[in-house]
């Protein structure tokens, strides 16, 4: 027997007409199957949204707040002062670890002032070999081997990206905890708050958290602006 | 090995369940490698090639060993990363961008409740709404896990 349910009308092909009760039961069964399918689909969609495509969506839909533009422009000005001939040329001219440390300390302080964020302490120290740096409680820690060794194979652009990325984390912290003097939209602060609760310890999930996306986005935008201005 | 064995391998049940759902989405050969690693604890050596549409025909080859040695990834993390790398063109691009700019996960040193208490009322309200939505999503994932994954083999021939 083949049944077709068309707009509530029961059409029966090659069988006995169904009773109202049977039709209702069949409808409920179909509805339950549809709901189950939607539920399973939704469960997978959640993972897709949370883990797979968040970055593309967020980066593509990112709209800079006025404070982002102001902060970006101020950061680019500092980079121009410190790297008039480009990143590599400047770092190649610094022959010793001491010269590099002094240069980076001054650069970080100037960038922090341009971004209107407080960095109370800068440490160059031994970190995990894969770790470039981190920033928390107004303290920036950078991997001494990667930043200070004149023979370091790390491209200068990546070093500057790291500084901008970590300084942006300091901005996020202050915006959440110290009154948001920059004027970030409340919805963005809420995203950063929720992002702070990590739920899966894996690179992919980490890379897709809004605080990391925002820090990477800011660093990339500033470097793009710097390139265009050169 | 069954998905439920993951429950003993993570700090929280939520993390294990989210990871189980993520693994269930992996391509079969990635799930096979994850299963082998869970059973033997021998570091995976899987290598994959990615040829993204935006790469002008260039093919990248990555191995789990590259990711573990070069980027300090955990074996499971490395295998999931390989799956992400070959999932689709845009994801591959994102994955490669991330490899170029690794950094330490940023965390405020306080609990979620402590952080919420420090926020302005408007931001706290929005944050709580996002957390509620996330909890609802997790509840659905947990039901899905319990009904469809928990007792199932991660990989079988």
Q: Which of B84, B103, B122 finishes a domain?
A: B103
Q: What is the average pLDDT across A17-31?
A: 56
pLDDT band at residue B137 using 50, 70 and 90 as cut-offs: confident
Residues B19 and B53 in one domain: no
A residues 111-130 closer than 8 Å to B (CB): 128-130
The domain in which residue B63 lies consists of 45-103
Mutate to test the interface with B, among A47, A123, A134, A203 (most CBs of B within 10 A): A203
Of the ranges A169-178, B44-53, B84-93, the best mean pLDDT one: A169-178
Is A61 within 8 Å of chain B by CB? no
Residue of A68, A75, A70 lying closest to A172 (CA atoms): A68
Q: Is the pLDDT of residue A89 over 60?
A: yes
Residues B3 and B14 in one domain: yes
Residues of chain A contacting B143 with CB distance shorter than 8 Å: 39, 43
> Is A130 within 8 Å of B102 when comparing Cβ atoms?
yes
The span from the CA of A197 to the CA of B130, in Å, is 12
The span from the CA of B146 to the CA of B140, in Å, is 10
Task: Quote the pTM value.
Answer: 0.77
Residues B121 and B148 in one domain: yes
How many other CB atoms are there within 10 angstroms of residue A41's CB atom? 10
Mutate to test the interface with A, among B103, B139, B148 (most CBs of A within 10 A): B103
Residues of chain B contacting A172 with CB distance shorter than 8 Å: 106
Which pLDDT score is estimated for A204?
72
Residues B51 and B37 in one domain: no
> Is A129 within 8 Å of B15 when comparing Cβ atoms?
no
> Is B143 within 8 Å of A212 when comparing Cβ atoms?
no
> Is A202 within 8 Å of B74 when comparing Cβ atoms?
yes
The string of pLDDT tens digits covering residues A112-122 is 999 999 999 99
Q: Is A167 exposed, middle or buried (0-12, 13-18, 19+ CB in 10 A)?
A: buried
Q: How many domains does chain B have?
A: 2
Residues B36 and B49 in one domain: no
Residues B52 and B93 in one domain: yes
Residues B81 and B119 in one domain: no
Nearest CA distance, B104 vs chain A (angstrom): 6
The span from the CA of B68 to the CA of B80, in Å, is 12
The string of pLDDT tens digits covering residues B23-41 is 998 999 999 999 999 999 9
B79 touches A172 (CB < 8 A): no
Q: Which of B88, B103, B118 finishes a domain?
A: B103
The string of pLDDT tens digits covering residues B50-67 is 776 666 677 778 899 988
The span from the CA of B94 to the CA of B73, in Å, is 17
Residues B122 and B137 in one domain: yes
């Amino acid at each position: 027997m083949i049944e077709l349910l068309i707009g509530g009308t029961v059409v029966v092909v090659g069988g006995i007409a169904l009773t109202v009760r049977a039709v209702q039961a069949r409808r409920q069964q179909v509805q339950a199957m549809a709901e189950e399918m939607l539920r399973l689909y939704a469960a997978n969609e959640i993972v897709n949204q949370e883990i797979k495509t968040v970055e593309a969506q967020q980066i593509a839909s990112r709209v800079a707040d006025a404070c982002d533009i102001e902060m970006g422009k101020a950061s680019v000005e500092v980079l121009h002062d410190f790297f008039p001939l480009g990143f590599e040329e400047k770092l190649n001219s610094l022959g010793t670890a001491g010269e590099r440390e002094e240069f980076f300390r001054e650069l970080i302080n100037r960038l922090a002032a341009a971004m209107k964020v407080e960095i109370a302490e800068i440490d160059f120290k031994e970190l995990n070999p894969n770790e470039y740096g981190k920033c928390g409680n107004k303290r920036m820690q950078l991997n001494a081997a990667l930043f200070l060794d004149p023979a370091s194979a790390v491209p200068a652009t990546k070093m500057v990206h790291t500084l901008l990325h970590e300084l942006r984390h300091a901005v996020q912290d202050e915006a959440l905890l110290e009154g948001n003097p920059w004027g970030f939209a409340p919805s963005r602060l809420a995203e950063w708050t929720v992002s702070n609760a990590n739920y899966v310890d894996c690179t992919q999930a980490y890379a897709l958290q809004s605080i990391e996306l925002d820090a990477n986005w800011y660093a990339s935008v500033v470097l793009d602006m710097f390139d265009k201005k050169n | 090995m069954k998905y439920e064995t993951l429950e003993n391998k993570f700090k929280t049940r939520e993390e294990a369940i989210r990871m189980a759902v993520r693994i269930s989405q992996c391509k079969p050969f990635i799930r096979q490698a994850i299963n082998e690693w869970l059973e033997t604890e021998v570091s995976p050596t899987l290598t994959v090639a990615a040829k993204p549409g935006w790469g002008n025909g260039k093919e990248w080859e990555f191995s789990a060993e590259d990711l573990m040695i070069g980027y300090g990834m955990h074996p499971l993390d490395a295998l999931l990363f390989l799956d992400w790398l070959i999932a689709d063109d845009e994801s591959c691009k994102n994955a490669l961008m991330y490899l170029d700019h690794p950094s330490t996960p940023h965390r405020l040193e306080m609990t979620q409740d402590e952080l919420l208490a420090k926020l302005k009322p408007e931001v706290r309200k929005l944050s709580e709404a996002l957390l509620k939505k996330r909890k609802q999503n997790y509840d659905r994932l947990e039901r899905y896990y319990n009904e469809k994954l928990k007792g199932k083999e991660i990989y079988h021939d």
